[in-house]
Chains A and B, each alone.
Chain A
């Protein structure tokens, strides 16, 4: 068929759009990582999104609302993120060297996430502890909400936050994933 758009041409346009700096958000779907399908998104400012088991339609609407309507799937701008995630999930990386775009995160959430970022590989903390470090020891529940809305899980390690009694409690990507990540890091056996 001569009048059918070829995949190569489709990819060429996507790459050109990113190369010309015309995108508000460049995203890609990593269909089969060690912890399942992930959608990853970056802006000019850095990584803005990691979503487990993404529902693309809903996801794109949300990204468009937050960052602007020029949201396009394209692969090159995500190269760095893909590489670091691969290395991390293979147990070959302990720290992420990625710029983050947290501009759309509310102030309190950002403060808690900044504390979260200091919890090291292979260690865990509790909701209460994180609440105290963020300025309000009684806000453990609010911290739970912040973890739940963490726009870049894995990279900002909300999987390292557990209940005061050591139970895993909950995880946006589902408890089996939390367990997988903590086991990967050697935080649990």
Chain B
């Protein structure tokens, strides 16, 4: 049975500290403050459309990651060669989402966070409420499954 989404207050209280730490590590304090508000406003806008309450930590971290990427792109002057080719080359969640649709939720979240958003396995473990090792395992199981499906 699907788990209903919790009241937003409960979701927010459970995830705000971690989202803020995550943004702080990537953007520095000043930018992180604006990104924090934007992350949860976006989450709030999308919240009524969620069909279940699973993997909400992973979900909100993907929103935060998206905002980090937008922020990095925005601050890079136009016409200049990308200084962060690795991050720039990341497939967006939208591109990864259809590819990973058939995966079990845990593996899907791990694959998207790892390859879509370049999160470390420790962060993915946090996001999924499991360990670093379990996150690594879920991501590689997901990738193996994808290889099988696409060959």
Residue numbers of A with Cβ under 8 A of B are 2-5, 9-10, 12-13, 16-17, 20, 22-23, 57, 60-61, 63-64, 68-73
Contact = CB atoms under 8 A, between A and B. Distances in A.
Given A3-B24, A5-B16, A61 B40 contact: no
A3 B21 contact: yes
B7 A71 contact: yes
Interface in B1-18: 4-10, 12, 16-17
Contacts of A22: 41, 44-45
Query: Which interface class (under 10, 10 to 19, 20 to 34, 35 or more) fits B?
Result: 20 to 34
19 contacts: A3-B20, A9-B33, A10-B16, A12-B37, A13-B37, A13-B41, A16-B37, A16-B41, A17-B40, A17-B41, A22-B41, A57-B10, A60-B9, A60-B10, A61-B6, A61-B7, A69-B5, A70-B44, A73-B9
B75 interface: no
Contacts of B25: 3
B116 to A, nearest CB: 24
Contacts, number: 64
A99 B148 CA distance: 60
B13 to A, nearest CB: 9
Give the dominant DSSP class at A's interface.
mixed
A2 B8 contact: no
A27 to B, nearest CB: 8
Contact of A13 (B4, B17, B40, B45): B40
A69 B8 contact: yes
Contacts of B55: none
A47 B43 CA distance: 25
